[in-house]
Amino acid sequence: MKALFDSDFWHEVFSTLIKNPLRTLLTSVGVGWGVIMLIGMSGAGKGLKNGATEGFGTFATNSAFVWTQKTGEPYKGFKRGRIWDLTNEDMEYLKKNVPDIQYLAPRLQGWRQNNTDNTIRDEKSGSFYIKGDYPSYRKIDPFTMIYGRFINDLDIKLKRKNCIIGERVYEVMFEKDEDPIGKYLKVNGVYFKVVGVFKPETDMSFGGEKEETIFMPFTTLQQTYNYGNTVHFFSVTAKPGVSVSKLEEEIISELKVRHSIAPEDTEAVGHFNVENMFKSMNALFGGIDVLTWIVSLLTLFFGALGVSNIMLIIIKERTHEIGIQRAIGATPKNIIRQIVTESVVLTTLAGYAGMLIGLIGLELINVMVIQAKEANPENSIIFSDPTISVGMAFTALIFLVIIGALAGVLPARRAISIKTIDALRHE
């Protein structure tokens, strides 16, 4: 402990390191580069993860989506390849008989045709996606309302010819800063009153870009365009504490019974859940984190070997000096302490320099990403806020001290193994 406050001790440590600055610098490069790699790769991984998850935004991560596909197995007299539909009655049945459902939102997809305008207002026209929804869909995929409101329960009950429109629809069909509320759009020959304009809060999209979508009450779209009681697909969320995967299995089982589909048929019901998507993504980035640590620690290890080798050279050059120290009373412990301290100081300073360069590099990259997003807000950049955690920086610091100490152990043992008389005779 006394050595920590001994100015002569520290003067000797630093004098030794700066005696040959070029050699010290080149020795430090290996350790510094390892830290730069650790910071850079960790920050890049974090940036990719942030960019990937940023698109989910406020989207309900406990949600699942279900739709119909051709059956893959013959069953109860029905042939393989049978086409079947979801219905309004299915939705009511699931609400009543699957208690783990929190929200259920059926949807109709009124697909637009390419190069054919389906929406008209005075001299303006455009081709947009048409969708029928329930108010509960906003619980799963939230929107920010720029004007007016979203679809409500009265719209559903009274089958009102109301609609809400995406930002892009507003830009095409209305003048800049024009209030669209109460104005009418002619959609596929039928007039609908605009009651809201929305901005998506997430990048997740099903059946077309949300900014180019006109949402109508589900019941209105179903009746107006003669969809009967058909539901194209539906989304659900699980109640708190319930696994979405478990809920998904319950729903699929119930639908198979209701529509006479073979229990073992894996093709008839299309589905996916966001929970599994998040798990897969977290597993992917967890693997990237592990790979980052492995590569960086190996680089640091080889950098430490370089430090150890250079310390061995320094010991050889200082053999006579060490002999004098031993002759005037320096103990093996004193010699080991000094050499290990020199190694720790060298690796720590190199590591801190690498950490500083890495952090500056991440900040520059972050600034460039922000500028790119501001210059082209419509372009999706799957990279955001590359950072490292305080825990990682602290762990790197501890590891630098450890490898520095280990790198000095072998040279120190070599130094004290030399007999005093031999060291004094060394030229």
For residues 235-257, b (16+ Cβ closer than 10 Å) or e, as one string?
A: bbbbeeebebeebbebbbeebbe
Domain shared by 311 and 176, yes or no: no
Domain shared by 270 and 283, yes or no: no
Residue 2 has pLDDT above 50, yes or no: no
The band of 317, judged by pLDDT with boundaries at 50, 70 and 90, is low
- In this prediction the pTM is 0.66
Q: Rg (Cα) of the chain, in Å, rounded?
A: 34
Point out the domain boundary residue: 242, 274, 306: 274
Rounded CA gap, 415 and 341, in Å?
14
DSSP labels for 196-262? EEEEES-S--SSS-GGGEEEEEHHHHHHHTT-TTEE-EEEEEEPTT--HHHHHHHHHHHHHHHTT--
Rounded CA gap, 246 and 404, in Å?
51
Beta bridge partners of 136: none
Domain shared by 244 and 353, yes or no: no
Render pLDDT for 269-294 as a digit per residue (tens, 0 to 9): 999 888 887 777 778 777 877 887 78
Residue 364 has pLDDT above 50, yes or no: yes
Rounded CA gap, 301 and 411, in Å?
16
Q: Token pair for residue 313? A: 């050279």
Domain shared by 46 and 76, yes or no: no
Rounded CA gap, 244 and 408, in Å?
54
Least confident of 136-150, 243-257, 270-284, 390-404: 390-404
Domain shared by 69 and 204, yes or no: yes
Render pLDDT for 3-17 as a digit per residue (tens, 0 to 9): 445 566 666 666 666
Q: Say which DSSP state 116 is in.
A: -
Q: Which of 361, 342, 339 is nearest to 350 (CA)?
A: 342
Domain shared by 266 and 240, yes or no: yes
Q: What is the pLDDT of residue 426?
A: 45
Q: Token pair for residue 252? A: 């699929």
Structural domain span for residue 95: 63-274
Helix axes 390-417, 332-375, angle to 10 degrees: 150
Domain shared by 270 and 312, yes or no: no
What is the overall mean pLDDT for the chain?
81
Domain shared by 139 and 195, yes or no: yes
Point out the domain boundary residue: 229, 254, 274: 274
Residue 366 has pLDDT above 50, yes or no: yes
What percent of the chain lies above the pLDDT cut of 70? 78
Least confident of 165-169, 254-258, 417-421: 417-421
The band of 316, judged by pLDDT with boundaries at 50, 70 and 90, is low
Domain shared by 256 and 403, yes or no: no
269 — phi, psi (to 5°)?
A: -115, 115
Render pLDDT for 380-425 as a digit per residue (tens, 0 to 9): 566 677 777 777 777 777 777 787 777 777 766 766 666 555 544 5
